[in-house]
Amino acid sequence: MDVDKLNEDFAQIADKINELDEMDYSDERYDDLEEELHDMEDDFLEEFGQELEEAIADVHDEFCPDNDVLLPVAYFAKNYIRNQKDHKGRYSYDIEYGEGVPVTVDDFPDQEVRIVLVPGPTRLIVTVGDTAKQVAWRAQK
């Protein structure tokens, strides 16, 4: 897997997700941007879907084995926080609590636990309630 291309493509998707999130449904450009995003997601899945599904399955096995593994795009946030650029000019991203796919984790029976896919670098983050975030997997070369 070309991790640099994965990170670059995913960052472009995150920026498109943010652009769409800031737009009203009534905006005449909304449908075109949404279609563009879906095309980007389809290309992303075609190129990286299998590797990402395997990573998601590993995270599920560790944290929530009783939950179904979904397509990687299901784990995308509805909005990403774009942070400062690194020394190579690439942005890093973070998420707000409450993003991602809700899962049931035996270790946290009374907490809301979610798994979310985040770019910059590409990683799976498990959030617990509104107080804890843990990187459960990171794409590596």
Check if the beta carbon of residue 124 is closer than 8 Å to that of residue 116. Answer: yes
3-state class percentages of the chain: helix first, strand second, coil last, to nearest 5: 40, 25, 35
Give 7-41 pLDDT, tens digit per residue: 999 999 999 999 999 999 899 999 999 999 999 99
The rounded distance, in Å, linking the Cα atoms of 96 and 105 is 20
SS3 label, residue 30 = helix
Give 59-86 pLDDT, tens digit per residue: 999 999 999 999 999 999 999 999 988 8
SS3 label, residue 23 = coil
Quickly count: other Cβ atoms within 10 Å of residue 116's Cβ: 23
Which of 118, 125, 119 is closest to 11 using CA atoms? 119
